[in-house]
Amino acid sequence: MSDIFDKIKAITARNFNLATWIINRDTTLSRLGADSLDAIGLIMAVERELGCLVPNDAFSAAVPASGEMTFGTFVDIIEKSIRRDGRKIAG
């Protein structure tokens, strides 16, 4: 796993009051107890803690028809935003 994956996993566990071991790439955000408002809060926490900015539309095309985004897809979108900006993450 990438360093970014591990940091986002830790942020997610802290925000949802979960053990990190239950979070993996295939876990859906809803399985973690996140609704759409929780997901927005998580994005904001990730931006704050990693010192990055995720564009508002970054997630709109990635949500599958089922509406069940996996944690792996969530991380991939954030990693892509960080790489596109060419920024180093904080922490």
Residue 90 inside a domain? The answer is: no
Going by pLDDT thresholds of 50, 70 and 90, the confidence category of residue 68 is confident
- Residue 43: band (very low, low, confident or very high) from pLDDT cuts 50, 70, 90: very high
pLDDT at 91 over 90: no
Distances (CA, A) of 39 to 35, 69, 86: 6, 10, 24
Is 91 within a domain?
no
Neighbour tally for 12: CB within 10 Å: 22
More confident residue, 87 or 44: 44
Are the CB atoms for 74 and 29 separated by under 8 Å? yes
Identify whether the C-beta of residue 18 lies closer than 8 Å to the C-beta of residue 32.
Answer: yes
CATH of the domain at 15: 1.10.1200.10
Overall domain count for the chain: 1
3 vs 62, which has greater pLDDT?
A: 3
Q: pTM, whole model, 2 decimals?
A: 0.83
Segment (H or E) for 49: helix 36-50
For 19-34, the pLDDT digits (tens) are 999 999 999 989 998 8
Residue 76 domain boundaries: 3-85
Measured distance CA(12)–CA(14) in Å, rounded: 5
